[in-house]
Amino acid sequence: MKVKVIIPASGRGVRFGSTTPKQFLKIEGREIIVRTIEKFHSIKLIDEIIISTKSEYFVELNNLIKKNKFSKVKKVVEGGKLRQDSVYNALLHLECSADDIILVHDAVRPFISPKKITELIKEAVKVKCVIPGLPVTETVKKVNKKNEVVTTVDRNGLWTIQTPQAFTYDVLKKSFEKAYKEKFTGTDESSIVENAGYKVKVINGEIGNIKITLKEDLKGRATT
């Protein structure tokens, strides 16, 4: 059994409001994507990393990989129109056995801890499908197009989900194939796996494992 990581990194960061794609922005002098890659590169259990991105980012990304000596990054492949397409294209470029563990992680979640990554890998070996998340603690309202409250949603059992999400190769590949056959688009890999009928276990994630989406997400951190 091997453990492989897919990092989709095709985003342009439109909502972030920067001309530089946010994965290439620097936090205290180091690129966000570099900080993300190194978290996985440092873990002995991980054998290979593959990154899917826009072809126009290939040169910059490959230069960063070489500069930081990320020897576990074996391939940089072209991403697709949707995140789902980017992940699937990377999946097709991996040579795997059925029980290999595949982790999929957002390029702009650089604060995940190696401890949590390791926990997810070990849990995936047991249950095949596992994702990290946090129970919803705030009151949740359903709102209409006029921003009027329609109803208050019972938050019992509601979780916000993070990455990395971990699955065995056979489960993930079969789930993607079913999704494309049915023209199903998922918001994350778990939703694609769920659509294929598999049970997905949720474990506690980390409060600090945020996805950098807006400039406010980097408040208090030196960026360039």
From start to end of 16-87, where are the E strands? 26-27, 30-31, 48-53, 73-78
User: At residue 97, what is the residue type?
Assistant: S
Q: 97 lies in a domain? A: yes
- Tally the residues of the chain: 224
Is 223 within a domain? no
In a domain, 134, yes or no: yes
Residue 224 resides in a domain = no
Q: Please state the domain count of the chain.
A: 1
CA dist., res. 126 & res. 187, Å (int): 25
Distance between CA atoms of residues 202 and 33, nearest Å: 25
Whole-model pTM?
A: 0.93
Averages of pLDDT over runs of 10 residues in the chain (224 residues) are 96 62 91 97 98 96 97 96 96 97 97 98 98 97 97 96 98 98 97 98 97 69 51
**Whole domain around residue 136: which residue ranges?**
3-218
d(CA 219, CA 222): 8
CATH number at residue 194: 3.90.550.10
